[in-house]
């Protein structure tokens, strides 16, 4: 085994480390849980943790590999969550738990992928901060529409409305309201488990890491580093940008569907699917190191658990959280503090920055 690892190339070894890290954490958590050492608050955080880590990987594909700033990733997660939960609701009595949940995740990913593709067509024509604000706008629009969407099912099929539940004109006897406007979807089956979350995270990681080391991935990174040079050697910029953006949306949709199957009531609130959430994912990505998937997962884990660890400080915990965030960012990114840490052989404490974008003058 050991010689096999040694024989790997540097990137495969690095990827192997990332997979191993996730699996080790999984095994350790399972052992702790079996031994009854995980508090109920902590075990309640396990599925959200997988969701956030997967979202961080998904966003890192756009920010770190494609090099564009997206502030609307919570929107894709929202689409995936509603699509997945909707599917589970209408097939609740006709399918077994496992195939239903599996299909719900796939459908969440597919629907979000379609949205990602459609949104990508106009959005990817822009760049820089303009692209960021438009993705933010799309995320907010999705959240807003989910709040006025009513969908019901009766004997004659599905009914849609954007105004109220009574406008659905459903057959009273067989009518079943599934998406109830601002009340969202209630009673989605609780299918999400930590194991399922880890599997989704692992699959996303395998997809993204393999993409990064493929011909397509190198084409995407060449666009990030210098899109004019990339274009001049014949790389189809639109195609590769769309590929990265759509894959990222699919992953976000799967994470959203996972998230939905962990909630008693799925409502498109600003706290869950608003721009604040998208920004939080961006924090994971930047803190963990732009372009480093392992860093994203570590940062997502630390920042999700931090408020829980700081719970004993009651009201002060979010204040402390914000100060910690500012201090980590300054220590990590200030050129002087980086030089100081490197001088004292402490740079291993810095979050790694793979594939750091270099200034091209």
Dihedral over Cα of 19, 21, 22, 23: its sign: positive
Query: Residue 16 or residue 227: which is nearer to another protein going by CB?
Result: 227
Query: Residue 75 or residue 253: which is nearer to another protein going by CB?
Result: 75
Query: Residue 103 or residue 149: which is nearer to another protein going by CB?
Result: 149
Query: Residue 6 or residue 228: which is nearer to another protein going by CB?
Result: 228
Other C-beta atoms closer than 10 Å to the C-beta of 131 total 18
For the sheet containing 176-180, what is the strand order? Answer: 157-161, 150-154, 176-180
Which residues form the interface with another protein (CB under 8 A)? Answer: 63, 69, 122, 125-126, 129-130, 132-134, 136-138, 140-141, 144-145, 147-148, 162, 182, 228, 275-276, 279, 282-283, 286-287, 290, 315-316, 318-319, 321-323, 325-326, 329-330, 332-337, 353, 356-357
Distance of CA 226 to the CA centre of its chain: 26
| Residue matched to tokens 């719900």 | 104
Query: Residue 103 or residue 280: which is nearer to another protein going by CB?
Result: 280
Q: Hey, what are 222's tokens?
A: 């060449």
The CA–CA distances, whole Å, from 353 to 18, 24, 303 equal 14, 23, 18
Query: Can you tell me the distance from the alpha carbon of 347 to that of 340, in angstroms, rounded to the nearest whole number?
Result: 9
In the bound complex, what is the minimum distance in angstroms from residue 161's beta carbon to another protein? Answer: 13
In the bound complex, what is the minimum distance in angstroms from residue 276's beta carbon to another protein? Answer: 8
Query: Residue 59 or residue 196: which is nearer to another protein going by CB?
Result: 59
Query: Residue 5 or residue 162: which is nearer to another protein going by CB?
Result: 162
Query: Residue 19 or residue 321: which is nearer to another protein going by CB?
Result: 321
Query: Can you tell me the distance from the alpha carbon of 259 to that of 137, in angstroms, rounded to the nearest whole number?
Result: 22
Q: Which of 91, 135, 83 is nearest to 114 (CA)?
A: 83
Query: Can you tell me the distance from the alpha carbon of 176 to that of 161, in angstroms, rounded to the nearest whole number?
Result: 14
Q: Which of 79, 168, 167 is nearest to 117 (CA)?
A: 79
Task: Name the CA dihedral angle for 311, 314, 320, 322, rounded to a multiple of 10 degrees.
Answer: 90
In the bound complex, what is the minimum distance in angstroms from residue 328's beta carbon to another protein? Answer: 9
In the bound complex, what is the minimum distance in angstroms from residue 332's beta carbon to another protein? Answer: 8
In the bound complex, what is the minimum distance in angstroms from residue 164's beta carbon to another protein? Answer: 11
> Are 288 and 351 contacting, i.e. CB atoms less than 8 angstroms apart?
yes
Query: Can you tell me the distance from the alpha carbon of 351 to that of 328, in angstroms, rounded to the nearest whole number?
Result: 10
Query: Can you tell me the distance from the alpha carbon of 321 to that of 139, in angstroms, rounded to the nearest whole number?
Result: 25
In the bound complex, what is the minimum distance in angstroms from residue 193's beta carbon to another protein? Answer: 31
Total number of residues shown for the chain: 361
Q: Which of 86, 226, 235 is nearest to 150 (CA)?
A: 86
In the bound complex, what is the minimum distance in angstroms from residue 32's beta carbon to another protein? Answer: 30
Query: Residue 37 or residue 323: which is nearer to another protein going by CB?
Result: 323
In the bound complex, what is the minimum distance in angstroms from residue 38's beta carbon to another protein? Answer: 28
In the bound complex, what is the minimum distance in angstroms from residue 295's beta carbon to another protein? Answer: 13
Distance of CA 14 to the CA centre of its chain: 22
């Amino acid at each position: 085994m050991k010689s096999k690892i040694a024989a790997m190339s540097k990137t495969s070894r690095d990827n192997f480390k990332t997979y191993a890290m996730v699996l080790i954490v999984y095994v350790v958590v399972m052992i702790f849980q079996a031994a009854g050492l995980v508090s109920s608050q902590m075990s309640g955080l396990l599925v959200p943790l997988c969701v956030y880590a997967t979202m961080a990987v998904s966003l890192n594909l756009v920010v770190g590999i494609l090099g564009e700033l997206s502030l609307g990733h919570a929107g894709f997660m929202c689409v995936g969550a509603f699509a997945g939960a909707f599917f589970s609701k209408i097939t609740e009595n006709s399918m077994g738990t496992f195939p239903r949940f599996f299909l719900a995740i796939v459908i969440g990913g597919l629907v979000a992928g379609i949205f990602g593709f459609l949104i990508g067509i106009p959005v990817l024509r822009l760049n820089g901060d303009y692209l960021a604000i438009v993705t933010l706008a799309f995320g907010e629009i999705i959240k807003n529409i989910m709040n006025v969407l009513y969908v019901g099912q009766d004997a004659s099929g599905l009914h849609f409305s954007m105004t109220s539940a009574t406008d659905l004109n459903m057959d009273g006897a067989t009518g079943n309201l599934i998406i109830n406007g601002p009340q969202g979807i209630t009673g989605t089956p609780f299918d999400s488990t930590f194991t399922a979350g880890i599997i989704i995270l692992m699959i996303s990681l395998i997809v993204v890491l393999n993409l990064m080391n493929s011909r397509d991935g190198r084409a995407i990174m060449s666009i990030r580093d210098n899109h004019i040079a990339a274009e001049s050697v014949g790389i189809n910029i639109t195609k590769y940008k769309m590929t990265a953006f759509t894959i990222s949306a699919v992953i976000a949709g799967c994470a959203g569907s996972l998230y939905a199957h962990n909630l008693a009531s799925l409502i498109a609130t600003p706290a869950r699917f608003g721009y604040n959430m998208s920004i939080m994912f961006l924090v994971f990505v930047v803190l963990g190191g732009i372009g480093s998937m392992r860093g994203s997962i570590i940062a997502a884990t630390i920042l999700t658990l931090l408020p829980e660890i700081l719970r004993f400080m009651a009201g002060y915990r979010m204040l402390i959280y914000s100060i910690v965030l500012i201090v980590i960012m300054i220590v990590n990114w200030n050129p002087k503090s980086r030089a100081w840490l490197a001088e004292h052989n402490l740079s291993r404490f810095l979050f790694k920055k793979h594939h750091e974008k270099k200034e091209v003058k």
